[in-house]
Structures are given as structure tokens and as C-alpha cells.
Structure 1
Amino acid sequence: MTVEIPRPILKDKKALVTGIANEHSIAYGCAKAFRELGADLAITYVNEKAKTYVEPLARELEAPILMPLDVSQPSDLDALFARIREEWGRLDILVHSIAWAPKEDLQGGLLDSSAEGFAKAMDISCHSLVRMARLAAPLMTDGGTILTMSYHGATKVVPNYNLMGPVKAALEACARYLAYELGSKGIRVHAISPGPLKTRAASGLKDFDLLLNEAAQRAPLGELVDIMDVGFTCAFLATPYARRLSGETLYVDGGVHIMA
């Protein structure tokens, strides 16, 4: 069967992108790729301090919706999705690019992590995907695509990734179970696993520069990926070209993950 695909390929699609902190964010690469391919954007910022960095990017991307979102606050989630329902009436794409852990728990080993810090990291970095999917699904009346950001440390031990390894492992499992539960509605769910990138979130990891250098040396393609590599991969997954893909963890890392 031939699939007729309009150009630009995401024209008139409605995409919610969460987790932009600045122009170096993976989420910004996703938003920029979606916009280049014709999608309309809703963009969030975590607090007023972040808004000063995110608001100019939202203007650049002509995003008609810019809203605060602290996923630990149910009222923020409710207000965001209510605005999308009111203004658009539907949603086609959701990008969950949110991860956080207390610094003292993130920079110590897993054995030293506190129960409270572990629980908070799991809630914000993992269960928030479930909460957002619950609100997004009723708006994806013609099907849709949900994408979340993981890392290789979910499946292999990466020194100094510490408690975020188990948290990302849980996130990938959530993506698979959501793909199963939402598949009958035509909603596809994927975890994206980028290679190391110089983002604000990554800067909190101990010896992150060493991780970057090692990845560049080990990558079969011989170089690191950038946020637009991740963004256009996510854009592809939101198109009809990927209509039979769901529940995958896709590596965008220049091939680093295949190396022993």
C-alpha cells in the first residue's frame, strides 16, 4: 500500500516539547526539527529563571503556546493540557525530555543514594512520563507519537552515571509498557538514547568531559552526535514513514553502543 505523505512532512501537526532549558538542550533540537518540517509547537519552561532563556527560543520557533511546567506540580500539568485542548483541540507529538536528581545523590555512588533522592529522581525523571501520557492520550484522537529521552547507562554500567542508570532503565520499561497500552489508540511510544551531549543536565555528572572524549574515540562514525541529530530522528519517528514502529529504544550515538 502506498502512503501519501504531504510536504513539509509534519505540516499542521501539533507538537508539545518539554524540557528545553536553553539552545543546547536536546529538547530544543527536537523542537527545531519539528518546526523545520512544518509542525506547530507548544513549549514549556520549568520556572521563571528558565523562562528568560526559553522565551526567545519559543519566539524564534513561532510557538503559539509557551507555558510553565514543573512536573511535580499537578496543577501545571493540568493547565498545560487544558490550554492545548482549548487552543488546538488535539495533540500529535509529545516529547518528554525531563530528568532530575538531587546533586548529592547524583554525584555519589548508587550505594550512597538516599531513599528520598532516589524516589524524587524516579518521580520527576520517570513517572512524569506516565502522567503526561495519561493527559496526552485523550488529545491524540488520530493517533500520535510519544518520545522520551534515555541514555546507554540504562542498560550498561556507565561509571559515574550512578542512580540515573536504574532510573533510565525504569523509563525505558515505562516506554515499552505505554507502547503496549496505547497501541490500540494508534499512539506509538519510543525511548531515544542519545550519545553524550554537552547539555546543562549532563554537566551535573562527575567527569562528564571524560565520558565525551571516550565516546568520540569509540564511535564507529568517529564523532559525537549533536542535538539536531536527535531532533531529526524524533521527527522521523513522528512521520508516517515510522507508522509501524513502536516500543523501541533507538540509539542516536554514532554507533557507540555496539562497541564492546
Structure 2
Amino acid sequence: MGILDGKNILVAGVTMDSSIGFATARVAQEQGANVLISNFGRALGITRRIAKRLPTEPPVLELDVTDQDHLDGLADQVREFVPHLDGVVHSIAYGNPETLLGGRFLDGPWDDVAQAVQVSAYSLKSLATATRPLMGEGGSIVGLTFDATVAWPAYDWMGVAKAGLESCSRYLARDLGPDGIRVNLVSAGPLKTLAAKAIPGFGDLEAMWETRAPLGWDNADQIPTAKAVCALLSDFFPATTGEIVHVDGGFHAMGA
């Protein structure tokens, strides 16, 4: 019997099997959850193919978190497969790597910045309000961040977007708490995901972990992060909300 036994979990934003979202869906299933996953556009076909690689092939929903029609129809899509949700995972972020990353902070154009903030931060609120009617008995929303308390090499406007995500999670924790809905984030160390490959100079970030993470860090292993997400989805954190849990080998706690 797993810690998510019988729970219905939506993992939004699963593209590749190297992603944290995919690893979370796998661990959640192994812990007894009924999992649904989502994506949209051209990536939807990829998601449908990689869904077959999970222990149990989950339903794949079409969801663009910037499309209000998709958000308005999400509850009905979910109810085709499960009557309610116990948890939601926000595994969604995007910033144009050609204009916003890799040392381009001073030149980032507003239209691209606005898109990054909407997709990477505002969408947490959008997803939370779209799924709120499905969590009448309370539940857990978990998002993914990369520590936005400091400025990182190469991360630039995505760092600003993640700062917005972190603030958004705290306000959601405040406003959804009375409904019994917890909202937390997991801050992972650098991982070799599709999103990371799009960041020019991301190798400089990865190199820092080699000497400063006291527990060590395997940038090809998404499972520790996925386990933390699943723990926050479970009933083992009933009084925790507005929190950021670091899964980075202890890097964040080291001064040098």
C-alpha cells in the first residue's frame, strides 16, 4: 500500500520521459495513485507516446494553461476519467532561450518576458482555479521551481519568472487554505531535462553542484525530486502549505 493509494492526481505538463513530470507520474503510480497527465499542441502527440512507458498508461488530456477555453473545460475532461482530484502537479515553464536566457537579461523584450511570466508563474494560479472545483474535499497542489532567491548565471528572465511562481504559490496557499487545499513547491537542483537543454550556459550551473552539494548530486536522476513531490501530494504533510522544499543535495544551505 503506497502513500498515494487511491488518490487521483493530475500531472500537468508532461512532455519527455526525462522530465520531472514524467518521473512524478511514475512514482505516483507506484505509490497507488490514479494518474492523469496533460500537454497540448504539437507536444501532445509526444506525450501520448511516452505515456505508454509508464507502469499503467494514463489518460492524456489536452491542456494549454494560457487558453481560457482549455481551462474552463478542464474539470469536464477530468471527470471523464475520475470523479474528483486529490492532487495537481504544475510541471510547466517556458522562456524563449534566444531572447531571455544565456546572458540576455538586459535585452529581454517585454513580449517574451510577459509570455515567460504567464506560462511559468501565472499559470499556477490558472491551473489552481481550474481544478479547484474538483478538490471539494481538499487536496494538494505542487509546483516546481529553481531557487529564485538569488541570481544565477544564464538563467536571467526565467529566474524572474520563477520568483513570480514562488510568490504566487504563497498567495494561493493563503487563499485556498480555507478550502483545505495546500500549495507547495519543490526546488530541485539542476537536472538534465528538455527545459535545461534549452538554457545556454546551463552547464555552468551544473558544475557548481559537483563541489558544493554535501549529499552529492546526480543531474540525470529525477526520482529524488519526484519522490518529494509525491510526499507533498500525500497525507503526510497535512499542515504544510506555502512552503518550498529543496531537493538539491543540500546545495542551498552551503555558503561556499
Given the two structures, how large is their TM-score scaled by the length of structure 2?
A: 0.93
Aligned to 1:134: 129
Whole-angstrom CA distance in 2 between matches of 1:95 and 1:112: 32
1:216-245 deviations in Å (ceiling 9; x for gaps): 221011223521111111111122211111
Equivalent position to 1:47, from 35, 41, 45: 41
Whole-angstrom CA distance in 1 between matches of 2:40 and 2:251: 31
Task: Name the % identity.
Answer: 38
Answer yes or no: is the 8 Å Cα contact 1:217–1:223 preserved in 2: no
Answer yes or no: is the 8 Å Cα contact 2:93–2:119 preserved in 1: yes
Equivalent position to 1:59, from 52, 68, 80: 52
Whole-angstrom CA distance in 1 between matches of 2:246 and 2:99: 26
Aligned to 2:29: 35
Equivalent position to 1:158, from 152, 163, 170: 152
Give the secondary-structure state (helix, strand or coil) at the position aligned to 2:136: coil
Answer yes or no: is the 8 Å Cα contact 2:97–2:200 preserved in 1: no
Describe how 1:181-260 pairs up with structure 2 within 5 A.
Answer: 181-224=175-218, 226-260=221-255
Answer yes or no: is the 8 Å Cα contact 2:66–2:119 preserved in 1: yes
Answer yes or no: is the 8 Å Cα contact 1:224–1:253 preserved in 2: no
1:135-156 deviations in Å (ceiling 9; x for gaps): 111111111000111102x111
1:71-106 deviations in Å (ceiling 9; x for gaps): 222222233321113432211110011111122322
Whole-angstrom CA distance in 2 between matches of 1:247 and 1:121: 22
Answering whether residue 164 of structure 2 is matched by residue 170 of structure 1, we say: yes
Q: Which amino acid letter does the alignment assign opposite residue 134 of structure 2?
A: L
Give the secondary-structure state (helix, strand or coil) at the position aligned to 1:242: coil
Q: Which amino acid letter does the alignment assign opposite residue 129 of structure 1?
A: L
Could you say if the C-alpha distance between residues 63 and 76 of structure 1 is closer, same or farther in structure 2, counting changes exceeding 3 Å?
A: farther
Answer yes or no: is the 8 Å Cα contact 1:149–1:194 preserved in 2: yes
Answer yes or no: is the 8 Å Cα contact 2:39–2:61 preserved in 1: yes
Q: Which amino acid letter does the alignment assign opposite residue 238 of structure 2?
A: R
* 1:64 Cα offset (Å): 4.1
RMSD in angstroms over aligned alpha carbons? 1.5
Answer yes or no: is the 8 Å Cα contact 1:42–1:63 preserved in 2: no
Equivalent position to 1:104, from 85, 98, 102: 98
Give the secondary-structure state (helix, strand or coil) at the position aligned to 2:207: helix
Given the two structures, how large is their TM-score scaled by the length of structure 1?
A: 0.92
Aligned to 2:115: 120
Answer yes or no: is the 8 Å Cα contact 2:153–2:201 preserved in 1: no
User: Comparing 237-246 with 70-79, which one deviates more in the overlay?
Assistant: 70-79
* 1:59 Cα offset (Å): 2.7
1:12-44 deviations in Å (ceiling 9; x for gaps): 110000121111101111111110000011111
Give the secondary-structure state (helix, strand or coil) at the position aligned to 1:240: coil
Whole-angstrom CA distance in 2 between matches of 1:89 and 1:202: 35
Could you say if the C-alpha distance between residues 241 and 175 of structure 1 is closer, same or farther in structure 2, counting changes exceeding 3 Å?
A: same
Whole-angstrom CA distance in 1 between matches of 2:191 and 2:236: 27
Whole-angstrom CA distance in 2 between matches of 1:172 and 1:37: 27
> How many pairs are equivalent?
252
* 1:63 Cα offset (Å): 4.1
* 1:249 Cα offset (Å): 0.8
Runs of 5+ consecutive residues of structure 2 not aligned to the other structure: none
Answer yes or no: is the 8 Å Cα contact 2:75–2:133 preserved in 1: no
Give the secondary-structure state (helix, strand or coil) at the position aligned to 1:67: strand
User: Comparing 54-63 with 66-75, which one deviates more in the overlay?
Assistant: 54-63
Answer yes or no: is the 8 Å Cα contact 1:105–1:163 preserved in 2: no
